[in-house]
A and B are shown apart, each in its own frame.
Chain A
Amino acid sequence: GDSVTQMEGPVTLSEEAFLTINCTYTATGYPSLFWYVQYPGEGLQLLLKATKADDKGSNKGFEATYRKETTSFHLEKGSVQVSDSAVYFCALIFYGKLTFGQGTILTVHP
């Protein structure tokens, strides 16, 4: 079945550092890919998405490119802020069924 694998965390960075969170997927078809973010005590919010190969999703300085050849959707940000501290989930959706990775905890220190 479909599955999503994220890099193991937690990830701890200093403010203004470069962020990469790796995400790879296995799918039988051509899914849409998502990054969701969960701030402490809150529900999941959509951060960005890409619906086909080579699409780049971007939002709030975060980017991810849908790479079909490597089945990857890595999340990047050039300069993280303390307010980016959260749990990040990579996910894929295919015919309405959303499959999540296990989540990566990001902590950014001043």
Chain B
Amino acid sequence: NAGVTQTPKFRILKIGQSMTLQCTQDMNHNYMYWYRQDPGMGLKLIYYSVGAGITDKGEVPNGYNVSRSTTEDFPLRLELAAPSQTSVYFCASSFPTGGDTQYFGPGTRLTVL
């Protein structure tokens, strides 16, 4: 049981490039989330999904896209990378009850130059 895995661990992008951050969970969780963590700040929700085929915007969705074709995978797409997207990105998952614990992946550190 690997939990939540994310790839890559680190990435440097040039302005205007695109990339996909991968996230996979093996706990059969319905809910999955993408957060970004800026230095000295808490985590902000980018997008979330309550199940395969269903996604919705969080607090800071601009510049990102997601898809959820399977229960296990929830990739985050960055189109036209900008320096403001330099951050650490965390994927998380949970069971579908309101108070359930979210389990986090190890994070992807992205730098846009």
Bound-complex Cα distance A91 to B41 (A)? 13
- B30: nearest residue on chain A (CB-CB)? A96
Docked Cα-Cα span, A45 to B104, in Å, equals 7
A49 CA / B48 CA spacing, docked (Å): 22
0/1 interface trace, chain A 29-59, chain B, CB 8 Å (1 if under): 0011010100000111110010100000000
Give chain A nearest CB distance to B76 CB in angstroms: 15
Residues of chain B with a CB closer than 8 A to A102's CB: 40-42
Within 8 A of B (CB), among A79-98: 89, 91, 93-98
Instruction: State which residues 55-113 of B face A: CB under 8 Å.
Output: 90, 92, 94, 96-107
Which residues of A are found within 8 Å of B100, using beta-carbon distances? 93, 96
Do B42 and A46 have beta carbons less than 8 Å apart?
A: no
B101 touches A49 (CB 8 A): yes
Interface SS, A side: strand
Chain A residues bordering chain B, tally (CB within 8 A): 24
Q: Which of B40, B50, B90 contacts A44 (CB 8 A)?
A: B90
Residue in chain A with minimal CB distance to B94: A96
Pair A96/B42 contact, Cβ less than 8 Å: no
Please tell me if the beta carbons of B43 and A96 are within 8 angstroms of each other in the complex.
no
CB-nearest residue of chain A to B41: A102
A103 to B88, CA, bound (A): 15
* A14 CA / B84 CA spacing, docked (Å): 37
B45 within 8 A of partner (CB): yes
Rounded to whole Å, the gap between the CB of B34 and the closest CB of chain A is: 12
- Judged by a CB distance under 8 angstroms, whether B31 is at the interface is yes
Q: Which of A46, A94, A100 contacts B43 (CB 8 A)?
A: A100
Interface of B toward A, CB cutoff 8 Å = 4, 31, 33, 40-43, 45, 48, 50, 90, 92, 94, 96-107
Shortest Cβ-Cβ A-B pairs, 3 listed: A100-B42, A32-B99, A43-B104
